[in-house]
Structure 1
């Protein structure tokens, strides 16, 4: 795994938090019950830091990302940016979205086919009433790797390759000169040959502009190649987090171990039984215990924690830079 890593520099533990989730809960009504999509999350993204948020589909990572963007309001807890709590007035959100921008996974779906590249990138600056629109669009396209930018101004999305369309989406985010990008599966729809280019672009933007980023993905290989830290989410909570190299070379939580086992270089494939539980019916004890291979194998019983796994709630992990895991068994072997 270490041979394939092209990731960024190690992050110091003193880096100040720029974007934070503090004890964040987000619930939705579902068939007469409450679905706990985000069920107590602490997460901090430092200045110039890339954090990967990983987990299966339905684990709550997209809801968490939308809440960090101000697109969902938390049921409790708060989002903080640059030390201040996020306000939800139209004026406050307008100012906030100049600082924190979304990059969607599907450039074809997020670009209007009737709009030229220029119009797509100029949309944000127009909404915010920024002067020098043409210069802003040209600079954003250049930073996104579309050069010379004027050559792309009058082109339409269908005239571009998938990688070029994704660069246009990134340019649209860059046009507002944000401090943080929230990238939801930014390379999922791209060919393997193009993925590396987009990941390299994100790293270049961090190096040149000091951008921070939250990269939402189900792909731990992507996390390895781009992130400074990784947070693994399961059923609404972060169950393991820490420096990417530490977590992905020595995972402590059984769920992280299972996710890593699907990578080609993994010596053993771990097949989880069943599907993630319904977020309206989160089980007691460890929320992963019904699918946990450590509990099923008898190792948890040997360590004397099987009863705790089934009945004792785990603490919500704090937002700290050090490696940590919410797992009764991991506590006995650490």
Structure 2
């Protein structure tokens, strides 16, 4: 699916630390991430709540400046001046989880979609551009929707309006944060099919942030699984999801309805970025370590005491796991 080997968007060694309040330890929300997105590629960033995926997405959008590391777009480092960010956000657009939260209830559909054009000073035929974006987003005939307000639309139609609002600026990359989480199952498939069609028609790239591996399977070319601020497994979606090597990826997959065997119930505390453990950050909840598998492979000590290397963010299948590298994963 990719059209080029050089990344459109690239994160290198990105760290985002939020200072703790009232003497509390700092929170390492993103703790060393390399991630590439190539032209025409859809990458799913997957993990449970609190793993840092939304903070990373915000950094990739230029909404949060990294504490360390750098982000480049089209080969150039992201700059944080107002003018540079405005130009950048024309090329990289956000699609939020809850369309009703991102649409002003007092605005018509036309005004909601035209807002980006007005902010960025579009000089052409506004009405034609708005109509084209609505049509591409599957709201046809578009003129029928111009004067409607969000409360007059279904959830799926509202999400299409949000997508149309992103499309009017002809971006190269969409960052979609849980784009179908608030929608009924019947509508989810339609929105995912729309995103795939937009990629085919416009050559769009996308980063889809989700906790749902099933969604990743249906839409992504490549998946990056995130745990406690770091990507722990990445690769082509079919390879990672049919032959997962990291115990965390295996646990996430085990709870899908179609998964074979019993679901893996993760014990221990959910990820807390202000208390990142030594060694492998997953070791305190790892079913392989708890079940003696790491001991048998001779890596239990490494799991508890040695941090696995940061994955390089490219297209190859990679895993940050001592047990998997011992030939067991």
Give the Cα separation in 2 of the matches to 1:167 and 1:252. Answer: 36
Alignment match of 1:281 (pick from 275, 278, 296): 275
Are 1:112 and 2:101 counterparts?
no
What is the aligned partner in structure 2 of residue 216 from structure 1? 209
The aligned residue for residue 299 of structure 2 is: 305
Distance 2:114 2:278 in 1: 50
1:326 alignment partner in structure 2: 320
Matches within 5 A, 1:161-180: 161-180=154-173
Instruction: Deviation per CA, 1:261-305: give whole Å up to 9, x if none.
Output: 011111221000023232111000000000000000001000000
- Residue in structure 2 matched with residue 3 of structure 1 by the alignment: none
Among 29, 42, 45, the residue aligned to 2:34 = 42
1:155 corresponds in structure 2 to 148
Equivalent-residue separation in structure 2 for 1:16 and 1:150 (angstroms): 40
How big is each residue's C-alpha offset from its partner over 1:196-215, in whole Å with a ceiling of 9 and x where there is no partner?
A: 00000000000000000000
Report SS of the residue matched to 2:174. Answer: strand
- Offset, 1:313: 1.2
User: Structure 1 unaligned runs (5+)?
Assistant: 1-8
Asked if residue 195 in structure 1 is aligned to residue 185 in structure 2, the reply is: no
Q: 2:230 aligns with which of 207, 231, 237?
A: 237
Q: Where does residue 259 of structure 2 map in the other structure?
A: 266
1:16 & 1:278 partners in 2: Cα distance? 34
Whole-angstrom distance in 2 between the partners of 1:176 and 1:22: 27
Gaps of 5+ in 2: none
Partner of 1:4: none
Does residue 94 (structure 1) correspond to residue 86 (structure 2)? The answer is yes
Equivalent residues of 2:46, 2:226 under 8 A apart: yes
Task: Work out whether residues 230 and 242 of structure 1, in 8 Å CA contact, stay in contact via their aligned partners in 2.
Answer: yes
- CA contact 1:24–1:42 (8 Å) conserved in 2: yes
Q: Distance in 2 between matches of 1:248 and 1:28?
A: 32
SS of the residue corresponding to residue 151 of structure 2 reads: helix
Shift of 1:34: 1.1
TM-score, scaled relative to structure 2: 0.97
Cα distance in 2, alignment partners of residues 267 and 162 from structure 1: 33
| Preserved contact between residue 235 and residue 276 of structure 1 (Cα < 8 Å) | no
Instruction: List 4+ stretches of structure 1 deviating above 6 A.
Output: none
Deviation at residue 245 of structure 1 after TM alignment = 0.1
Maintained 8 Å contact 1:23/1:42? yes
Q: Alpha carbon RMSD of aligned pairs, Å?
A: 1.0
Q: Is the 8 A contact 2:227 2:271 kept in 1?
A: no
| Shift in Å, 1:15 | 2.5
Q: Does 1:84 align with 2:84?
A: no
- What's the TM-score once normalised by structure 1's chain length? 0.96
